[in-house]
């Protein structure tokens, strides 16, 4: 998706790769595995530091869990990176066979509805005062939030060709890169 939108993509598996990027997408998958692997490969603290420094990040599905300050239904010892003032519940939509699609109103992305595919995704149970709700299902369950340069969504927009969340993320990466360039004196 990011390459299709013209971004240079670096697959981040180690701290030296992470040090080369201006933003990070934390994809879907299994949040407990993402947690374990980032600790094993020494990425947890660099990611947490980057969040504190304002690096733009987009978390989809398991990525939302990793960006949440608080998680319910976590496995023993599971940790998040934090950064978004929300409480999320893992696998809130049930098993994979209970996956579904929905149309969401996301005013921050324009008047056209967002087509969203949910696969064992999390739901935001509580939105804290520092975070902003971007979208909810018809029953009121919150499925998209943001805080500063962090975006978190419960679904997989890439499966539907939905580019607006990725474009919003890339815009923030460009803005952050411009700010950093202004703060670094040229030689």
Sign of the CA dihedral running 70, 73, 76, 80: negative
Q: Nearest to residue 58, comparing CAs of 183, 182, 163? A: 163
Q: Which helix (H) or strand (E) holds 76?
A: none
CA distance 124 to 149: 18
Q: Give Cα separations from 115 to 118, 134, 164, 165 (angstroms).
A: 10, 14, 11, 12
Domains defined along the chain, listed by start: 15-183 (3.40.50.880)
C-beta separation of 68 from 88 below 8 A: yes
In tens, the pLDDT along 167-184 reads 999 999 999 887 765 544
Q: Which residues share a beta bridge with 102?
A: 116
Catalytic residue numbers, as ranges:
61, 156, 158
CA distance 36 to 46: 15
Q: Nearest to residue 23, comparing CAs of 184, 160, 128, 175? A: 175
In tens, the pLDDT along 122-177 reads 999 999 999 999 999 999 999 999 999 999 999 999 998 999 999 999 999 999 88
CA distance 37 to 78: 11
In tens, the pLDDT along 8-42 reads 999 999 999 999 999 999 999 899 999 999 999 99
pTM, two decimals, is 0.92
C-beta separation of 69 from 83 below 8 A: yes
């Amino acid at each position: 998706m990011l390459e299709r939108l013209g971004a240079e993509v670096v697959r981040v598996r180690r701290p030296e790769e992470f040090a080369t990027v201006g933003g990070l997408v934390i994809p879907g998958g299994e949040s407990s595995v993402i947690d374990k692997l980032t600790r094993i490969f020494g990425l947890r603290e660099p990611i947490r530091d980057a969040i504190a420094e304002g690096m733009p990040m987009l978390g989809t599905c398991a990525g939302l869990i990793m960006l949440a300050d608080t998680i319910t239904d976590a496995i023993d010892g599971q940790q998040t990176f934090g950064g978004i003032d929300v409480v999320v519940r893992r696998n809130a939509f049930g098993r994979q066979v209970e996956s579904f699609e929905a149309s969401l109103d996301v005013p921050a992305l324009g008047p056209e509805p967002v087509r969203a595919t949910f696969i064992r995704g999390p739901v935001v149970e509580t939105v804290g005062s520092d975070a902003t709700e971007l979208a909810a299902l018809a029953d009121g369950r919150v499925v998209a939030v943001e805080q500063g340069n962090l975006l978190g969504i419960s679904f997989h927009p890439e499966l539907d060709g939905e580019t607006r969340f990725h474009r919003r993320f890339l815009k923030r990466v460009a803005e952050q890169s411009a700010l950093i360039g202004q703060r670094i004196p040229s030689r």
